Structure 1
Amino acid sequence: MRPALRRISVVAAAAAVLTALPGVASAEGRPEGRTYHVATWGTDHDSGSSRHPFRTIGRCTEQVGPGDTCLIHRGNYRERVAPPSGRADAPVTLAAYGDGPVTVDGTRAVTGWKDAGGGLVAADVDLPLDRSENALFLDGERAMEGRWPNSGSDPLNPSWAVAERSSTDQHIDDPDLPDGDFTGATVHLWAGSNPWSQQTGTVTATSAGALDFKGGNYRCTPLCMGDQNYRNYYLVGAKATLDQPGEWYYDKDARRLYLVPPKGGVTDHTVTAKYESWGVDLSHSSHVTVRGLDLWGTSLRTGADSTGVLVEGIRARYISEFSTLPMPRDDELAIPPGEGHIVASRVLNSGVQILGRGNTLRDSDIGYSAGTGVLLRGSGNTVTGNYIHDVGWMGSYTPGIEINGSGQTVTHNTVRRTGRASIDTAWQLNGVPFHDNRIAYNDLSEAMRTSRDGSPFYVCCNLDAKGTSVDHNTVHDADGQVGYYIDNSSGTFLLHHNVAYNTGTRGTFFNGHSSVSLGNRDHNSSYARAFPPPPSG
């Protein structure tokens, strides 16, 4: 059940700040900061006062210093926000004023549509992101990139084609494959004897009922196409896939965007495309408070050196989009690269990212990501009281919350509807230490929607969890094998007072795999294959 988020009363906060005058000392003797206003009806040439506000948040962040505040009035702000640092005793604050939603929008309108023949319209536009990271929205709803076979609007419940058993690791036979040139398209694979991760490749040739591709299959078996238990795939990113209203394809070389228009044409509809990956960029900021903002088609991040950042009461939608699963870079891996590390694809470049030390994300609603919901990396950070949902639909190890590092606190979150795990840590990215973390009072449900082998709470591999406590969590109604899965020789985990039901054959599993799993403990937990029915009478 979704918790009631504690929306911060920004009106009350604003009222308190408005009483402060520049240079007037607080009760503690610290000078109060200045307050500037931002509004869509303002101008950046004005003073930033309540009567003469700035037009953009960016103009306000050019003016603020430690202790200063940007109060942002209702409206849509299509810009990238990157405030300077404050101090521990005088943070820089960006806050919604309280007179309506304040949205940092990472999209831009696409106009100039012309008939392109074959039932398509096209617009000449230079989309700045990598081709695989584009996103399109039609009338405020996510538009589906052209794909075959067609699928519904829920990316966590996709439609798949099934290859013939005569397929091989770089070749697909399928008599249902339609005619058309799919060369250059991405083939998305959910295949193998036990497909615990999905992969992507690039189509190199097509013929009647068959195609060749390269890439993918970094681990064959168990993750390969061919005569396997699972042979699921779909195609995306080719003009030949455009066959239903709302589908789109971007020709990067020609800088042309194609769209199957809605019935009646595109004239009376609004089309926007993603332009900004990081609408609120705190990667070079410390001691900043972000309060009450909405994010649309973009995300927020702190940096490896950030400290003292507080993010509270945000509402983020469609934070990450991508259509390929490349191997992580060597410098992103904590151990020597290996072909199995494809499972960690996109963990580090998706989601709302809380990096550094001593930063907090709380009381926020974060939803709709092809990859991670929240990435927690560094030390001493806190993620608490959040609702995280509908993430990880590309099927790698991108979870609702990814925890790397030590001294992290993850409590009282609700994580619902994830492609794989609700909470996860990837050993390839974290290395061996995973010390003194607290993971408690979280509700994790409807996990493992695009994987076969895993759990709502999953850790891997060879992790030393000294001082880490996993307690008072509830996992339920998931498609995996187990509720709490400590995989591949990870040790010294303490589990206690947890609950699991409707999660597969086990409540918890300490898996030594090729080695041993030592020093793990589980006390006073309750596990059931199904939730017991209420008493009769």
Structure 2
Amino acid sequence: MTTTLILHVAEDGCDGWSGITSAPNKAGTDGPLATIEEARDRIRAIRKAGKLHSPVEVLIHAGRYSFTETLRFEEQDLGNEQTPVTYRAAGDGEAILAGGIRLDQYKMQDNGIARFSLTEAGYAGLRFRQLFCNGIRQPMARYPSYDPEQPYTGGYLYVDGPDVDLNEDGHGRKDGFICRDPRLKGWSRIDEIELFVFPRTNYCNDIVRLKSYDPETGEVTLAEPTAYEIYPGDRFYFRNVREELDSAGEWYLDKQAEALYLNPPAPLEEVAVTVPLVENLIEVSGRPKPAEDFNIEKIDWTDSGGEIRLAQHPERTTGGFIAFEGLTVEGCNGAGIVFRNVRGCRVRQCEIRGTGNVGVLLLGGIDCSVADCEIRDTGNHGVYASGGVRSPFMGRHACRHEIRNNYVHHTGVFTKNSAGIAMNGVGIVAAHNEIHDGPRWGILSRGSDNRIEYNRIHHVNLETSDTAAIYLVDRDFSMNGTRILYNRIHDVLGYSEEKWRSHGLTYGIYLDDYTSGVEVRGNLTYRTLGGGAYIHAGQDNIIENNMFLETNAELAHFRRWEAEREYRAMGTHGLGLRRNVFRNNILASRQATAKMYLFSNCATEDHLPDIDGNTFEHNFVWLYGREISVEVERRDGQRDSLSLPSWQALGWDAGTRAADPLIADLDAENFRLAEESPALAAGFVPLPLERMGRQP
């Protein structure tokens, strides 16, 4: 396929030139274009005239290209397989697309704080919630100050009060709490201050503006409710506090005076101070089909970035074929790149960083991909992908989006209920990605027929509870067909600082709330607080040929919801935790608290396991010489502990052996099995360890 047109964009270009050469000519009469918008418009005109018949490339040369409006590609810009358009870094240095402006006019005050006048700079009325110094996001003036030595556990206050059961209602409220810290009495402009809080369950956080503060009682009242009640022990801090501009890098926006105050992290002559102006930096949008072609489903903000997922039949999507390669996309309030209802669009070898929301957002469409990218420092998910149709009227149709071979890290800066990669649809693939340093999930999947394979996920779940490296939740027995294959998962943590009084509930692979019909095969998990795998009331799941190692608790966990909760959620009775298969797995841990299985709410009145219809067989379990136990929790919460022989005497785990599988070296993370391993002799298939994670 021949490229018929190459356009160049450079910082020293001019939008009145032809754009066909990479540098200005000696006469200064021709050369590259100055803006990507002009290159887009040139191609748009050629396409409109019917003269575009081959691929086009736009080569973007080294430099910084700032945008005060979203760079939009609409229906008139979309092509087909014969006329794709690629916007590519030229290779002569970093080509940065930035969604903001630089502030460089300031006056130093006697206290060392820099004052930037927005009015004098021509930006009166500008409002922003992010500020970057040399590309690094800086914290709002806050109390307590951000602690770089303890970035996840430091810099918090804790709500006063006695220990309470988080599962009991009535111990808090959503619209306020008591804070007796005397520091608050010296603050002005209370209604400009925001509360950053992890309420009650620690599933998520809220950022809520204060309404009032009573210095006599310590009562803080919020301008809007939080997601959950604020309970004793919940951690929080205040931000955007004028009087707390006391740490390097902190900043405060004085809306009344139209001024920015910055405590410089370094001498300002060495610092580029930038703030974002645009919501989404790049948007590529196709025209939706008529309304009858859609299943309209409202998706929660934390799952989608605040969009409505349009479940259009993917094969009806026509235009698209726009690609971005080798670019750096940074500094916006929303998503870095958005594809909406398009076909065959790609993001490849890009770095997306410093977004206020999602890094890359795929909504609807078909055959779009994010590959070989680094995505970091995002406000919400690293990548969010949705698409495809699952409907009793339209059948099941895959969108075939792929998220492949990316390096995704330090996500969820503002929204903690977030994932490195989030998928919500039919037929989405996440493969060979490396994900770490996220507040909650590594990969979140909802929908049907998705595939999660060969990823490496570690050091996730750093700030929340009841979560996992790979987490599925559908609350629908028929959303099936997802496969979780050959992933390497380790150091799955969970926030457990002493002052926070809640359960950890962090696992390697978590099939939550009736998730069903999932195949979990060939995965390796180690150093997880909870088990390697957790089935929560689902059906027809197969967990086979995995290695679940080095957990502090049970190596695998199974739970059935109480009858009334199942009826409320599903409209069924007694269908949870049925027909699951747990077979030919290796379970091993040196931790003194480790056990084989935990069954929650899974015992009859006479204390017998109530798990008929499930299959447990031919597993290998080894606790390095310690007794192997299975714990079964009764309806009243009490647990019975069974030895492995007692468990097998009840008819479970036929063929399961308590034997050393002969793993090469746990300390050196060499998980290969010795040739004489009894697990290999019994049919365990060695895991493809070298293929897990990013590939060259």
Match of 2:106 in 1: 113
Between stretches 235-244 and 157-166, larger displacement belongs to: 157-166
State the identity %. 23
Residues 509-520 of structure 1 correspond to what in structure 2 (within 5 A)?
509-512=534-537, 513=561, 514-515=565-566, 516-518=576-578, 520=580
Does residue 271 of structure 2 align to residue 269 of structure 1? yes
Displacement, 1:115? 5.1
Residues 220-259 of structure 1 correspond to what in structure 2 (within 5 A)?
223-226=228-231, 228=232, 230-252=233-255, 254-259=257-262
Give the whole-Å Cα distance in 2 for the aligned partners of 1:150 and 1:385.
36
Match of 2:7 in 1: 36
Q: 3-state DSSP class of the match of 1:397?
A: coil
Gapped regions of structure 1 (runs ≥ 5): 1-25, 321-348, 427-433
Give the whole-Å Cα distance in 2 for the aligned partners of 1:263 and 1:423.
37
Between stretches 154-163 and 289-298, larger displacement belongs to: 154-163
Q: 3-state DSSP class of the match of 2:4?
A: coil
The one-letter code of the counterpart of 1:151 is Y
Between stretches 395-404 and 409-418, larger displacement belongs to: 395-404
Give the whole-Å Cα distance in 2 for the aligned partners of 1:199 and 1:71.
42
Displacement, 1:165? 0.8
| Conservation of the 8 A alpha-carbon contact between 1:446 and 1:479 | yes
Displacement, 1:277? 3.0
Shift in CA distance, 517/396, structure 1 to aligned 2, threshold 3 Å: farther
From 78, 99, 120, give the equivalent of 2:66. Answer: 78
Shift in CA distance, 473/270, structure 1 to aligned 2, threshold 3 Å: same
Structure number with the bigger relative contact order (C-alpha 8 A, sep ≥ 6) is 1
Displacement, 1:151? 0.9
Displacement, 1:526? 4.7
Residues 127-206 of structure 1 correspond to what in structure 2 (within 5 A)?
131=127, 134-153=129-148, 156=152, 158-165=154-161, 168-169=172-173, 170-175=176-181, 177-178=183-184, 179-181=186-188, 182-192=190-200, 194-206=201-213
Gapped regions of structure 2 (runs ≥ 5): 24-30, 163-170, 287-318, 388-398, 495-505, 538-560, 567-575, 591-664, 671-696
Shift in CA distance, 263/467, structure 1 to aligned 2, threshold 3 Å: closer
Give the whole-Å Cα distance in 2 for the aligned partners of 1:520 and 1:61.
53
Q: 3-state DSSP class of the match of 2:532?
A: strand
Displacement, 1:160? 0.7
Deviations 1:88-121 (A, max 9, x none): 2220111111111111112311132235676543
What is the TM-score normalised by the length of structure 1?
A: 0.79
Give the whole-Å Cα distance in 1 for the aligned partners of 2:39 and 2:586.
52
Shift in CA distance, 366/268, structure 1 to aligned 2, threshold 3 Å: closer
Q: 3-state DSSP class of the match of 1:58?
A: helix
Deviations 1:312-363 (A, max 9, x none): 100112122xxxxxxxxxxxxxxxxxxxxxxxxxxxx533112222101101
Shift in CA distance, 363/139, structure 1 to aligned 2, threshold 3 Å: closer
Match of 2:611 in 1: none
Q: 3-state DSSP class of the match of 1:446?
A: strand
Displacement, 1:177? 3.6
Q: 3-state DSSP class of the match of 2:39?
A: helix
Q: 3-state DSSP class of the match of 1:95?
A: strand
The one-letter code of the counterpart of 2:371 is R
Give the whole-Å Cα distance in 2 for the aligned partners of 1:447 and 1:77.
33
Match of 1:58 in 2: 37
Displacement, 1:241? 2.5
Shift in CA distance, 411/263, structure 1 to aligned 2, threshold 3 Å: closer
The one-letter code of the counterpart of 1:408 is I
| Conservation of the 8 A alpha-carbon contact between 2:330 and 2:336 | no
Match of 1:294 in 2: 328
Give the whole-Å Cα distance in 1 for the aligned partners of 2:328 and 2:482.
33
Give the whole-Å Cα distance in 1 for the aligned partners of 2:266 and 2:376.
29
Displacement, 1:283? 3.0
The one-letter code of the counterpart of 2:19 is G
From 492, 496, 505, give the equivalent of 2:530. Answer: 505
| Conservation of the 8 A alpha-carbon contact between 1:109 and 1:272 | yes
| Conservation of the 8 A alpha-carbon contact between 1:77 and 1:103 | yes
Matched positions, count: 463
Give the whole-Å Cα distance in 2 for the aligned partners of 1:268 and 1:96.
26
Match of 2:493 in 1: 479
Residues 79-98 of structure 1 correspond to what in structure 2 (within 5 A)?
79=67, 80-83=70-73, 84-98=77-91
From 461, 478, 494, give the equivalent of 2:519. Answer: 494
| Conservation of the 8 A alpha-carbon contact between 2:187 and 2:241 | no
Give the whole-Å Cα distance in 1 for the aligned partners of 2:105 and 2:56.
42
Shift in CA distance, 87/59, structure 1 to aligned 2, threshold 3 Å: same
Shift in CA distance, 508/268, structure 1 to aligned 2, threshold 3 Å: closer
| Conservation of the 8 A alpha-carbon contact between 2:353 and 2:359 | no
Displacement, 1:201? 2.5
